Amino acid sequence: MITVRAHAKINLTLDVLGIRPDGYHDIASVMQSISLSDILTFEPADDITLKGAAEAGIKPLDNLIYQSANLLKKESGVKKGVSIEYTRGIPLSAGLGGGSSDAATTLMVLNELWGLEWSSERLSKVAAKLGSDISFFLYGGTAYIHGRGEKVTPLPPFAETWLVLLRPLVEVSSKTQKLYASLENGHYTDGEATRKVANDSLVGQTISPHFIFNAFEPVAYQFFPQLDGYRQIMLDAGASSVHLCGAGPTLFTMASDYNSAESIYQNLLSKDLEAYLTHTL
């Protein structure tokens, strides 16, 4: 039996450069792993089975855990199976990459459990067939992401930073696709924000909120009408600045220390909001 954590992420930057000939968008991003996580347990088995997904509100066959296990089995030609138990800790469809992290974690654990000994680069080719940002989670930490999200360059880690997340009560189907479709030419950027943060990534350096950028923010506040109200709630709770996680709708703020983060977190909980206290990895 192998039990592991699949960690969430935030985007410190997210530049959308334009539309590619294949219909995807070229992006540049600095992604950062955080301590918030799902828990996955793997046991050898004859077939591939997944427990816990239905209880978390996901159809097992639609879950990226199940899909990644089946794809790796097909690509590798192994005859083995696995029983996987999933415990959700990352909110769904929140811009935190929970499904992608689960998929990457599954690929890495099965690479070990099935004795494949594939390199991260080879696993990344499998990951890219499942989703654009899954490859990041094969590396984790701090990384520069480009292409359609499948190209990953690890960066030196920033100093540990405490974060408070707020998951608004907003549900939109096909959210990411709709947000990309809402982008206009004026929302596209040249990647300068991402290059700035990537170049400033030095071991132990503090993340500056002034460098955080997300090309989705202008359209997200129109796409999710309630979002500005949640942003104001975070500011009233003590946040100095509020930022969008990926394609949203989750918002996050960085705190100067644990006590400041705890204070903001407790203020949000007192309003019966879905909040999370976490830190960078």
CA-CA distance, 71 to 189, in Å (whole number)?
35
Catalytic residue among 9, 15, 102, 175: 9
Q: Which residues contact 55 (CB under 8 A, 6 or more apart)?
A: none
CB 77 within 8 A of CB 83: no
Q: What is the largest CA-CA distance in the chain?
A: 56
**Which tokens go with 20?**
């590619």
Tell me if residue 9 is catalytic: yes
Catalytic residue among 15, 38, 102, 133: 133
Please, how many CA atoms are within 13 Å of residue 183, restricted to the half-sphere of its CB? 23
- Residues marked active site are found at 9, 133
